[in-house]
């Protein structure tokens, strides 16, 4: 069982504020149920999308479709904006992630102007502001489509995606759909047509994490969300996330967080969730 998704609208968040979120919210691979656009104007770090880790720098634009697992780690002070499209944007958007490194001043200026226009409408308090912001969001979708061709050309010139990244991307897509089941790494490997050793080796090469670590991290990320945002009993959370027993869940949770689930809930249940 997953937490029911609250219907969301178009909104924005400064990346500096996002970077100050708890570490577990940022560095655990997980997916959003809406598309997301990240525009970096300052700072650097690493972002992992579909199991492949890459560096990000100023004037990088990253589009992440709904349902694609990602995480990021800021290595310096980060500035920029995150745009969350909401559920009912009605736009034609890329179906695969894009990581655009904008080298030309005109490209950077165009992206910044669209982001600024969306922000002005959402924060300006004028009549029909949301409608106007959605129109600007449409321009962002056009901008993404125009740059997608350039992105694909760069990817082609760089050579085919290596086998480890392809396998890890398939694993993370399957993991996001099934992490609440009782499937283990061997089951995932069988479904993907490889051995558990091969799958673990591919994950480690692509993002520095083992297949088991990605599975456990995703389950415990959801556990923290459920503990802080719902009143579901700990035993039910353990069952709903595929742990064999509540005791095993409690030990795994405490090993990662330093607290048993009940103590963690008491400490964080009143914190506004990200």
pLDDT, one tens digit per residue, over 165-207 is: 999 999 999 999 999 999 999 999 999 999 999 999 999 999 9
DSSP codes joined into one string, 5-32: PPP---EEEEHHHHHTS-HHHHHS-B--
Mean pLDDT in residue range 96-113:
94
CA distance 187 to 148: 35
* pTM, entire model: 0.88
pLDDT at residue 175, rounded to an integer:
96
- Two tokens at 159? 């050579």
- The domains found in the chain, sorted by start residue, are 11-158 (2.60.120.280), 163-268 (1.10.10.60)
Interior angle at CA 256, CA 217 and CA 236, nearest 5 = 70
Does residue 273 have a pLDDT over 50? no
Does residue 158 have a pLDDT over 60? no
Largest CA distance in the chain: 58
pLDDT at residue 268, rounded to an integer:
84
pLDDT at residue 88, rounded to an integer:
86
Residue showing tokens 């996001």: 176
pLDDT at residue 105, rounded to an integer:
93
pLDDT at residue 274, rounded to an integer:
38
Task: pLDDT band for 8, please (50, 70, 90 cuts).
Answer: confident
Rg (CA), the chain: 20
pLDDT, one tens digit per residue, over 15-27 is: 999 999 999 999 9
Task: pLDDT band for 151, please (50, 70, 90 cuts).
Answer: low
Q: Under DSSP, is residue 48 helix (H, G, I), strand (E, B) or coil?
A: strand
pLDDT at residue 104, rounded to an integer:
92
Residue showing tokens 């897509």: 173
Mean pLDDT in residue range 246-262:
95
Q: Where are the alpha helices (DSSP H) in the chain?
A: 15-19, 23-27, 105-124, 129-158, 163-178, 185-192, 196-207, 211-229, 234-240, 246-257, 261-268
What's the Cα-to-Cα distance from 135 to each of 10, 116, 129, 138, 260, rounded to whole Å?
A: 11, 13, 10, 5, 47
What's the Cα-to-Cα distance from 203 to each of 30, 159, 162, 163, 175, rounded to whole Å?
A: 15, 20, 12, 11, 12
């Amino acid at each position: 069982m997953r937490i029911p998704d609250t219907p969301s609208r178009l909104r924005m968040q400064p990346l500096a504020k996002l970077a100050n979120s708890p570490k577990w919210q940022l560095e655990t691979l997980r997916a959003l149920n809406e598309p997301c656009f990240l525009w970096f104007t300052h700072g650097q770090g690493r972002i992992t999308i579909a199991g492949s880790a890459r560096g990000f720098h100023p004037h990088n634009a990253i589009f992440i479709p709904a349902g694609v697992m990602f995480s990021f780690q800021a290595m310096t002070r980060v500035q920029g904006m995150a745009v969350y499209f909401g559920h009912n944007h009605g736009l034609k958007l890329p179906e695969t992630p894009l990581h655009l490194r904008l080298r030309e001043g005109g490209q950077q200026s165009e992206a910044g102007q669209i982001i600024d226009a969306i922000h002005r409408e959402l924060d300006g308090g004028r009549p029909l502001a949301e409608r106007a912001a959605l129109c600007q969001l449409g321009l962002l979708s056009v901008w993404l489509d125009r740059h997608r061709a350039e992105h694909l050309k760069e990817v082609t010139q760089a050579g085919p995606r290596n086998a480890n990244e392809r396998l890890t991307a398939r694993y993370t897509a399957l993991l996001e759909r099934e992490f609440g089941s009782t499937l283990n790494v061997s089951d995932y490997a069988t479904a993907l047509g490889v051995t558990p050793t091969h799958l673990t080796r591919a994950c480690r090469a692509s993002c520095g994490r083992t297949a088991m670590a990605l599975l456990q991290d995703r389950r415990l990320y959801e556990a923290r969300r459920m503990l802080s945002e719902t009143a579901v009993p700990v035993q039910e959370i353990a069952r709903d996330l595929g742990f064999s027993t509540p005791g095993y869940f409690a030990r795994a949770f405490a090993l990662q967080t330093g607290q048993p689930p009940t103590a963690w809930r008491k400490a964080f249940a009143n914190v506004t969730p990200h």
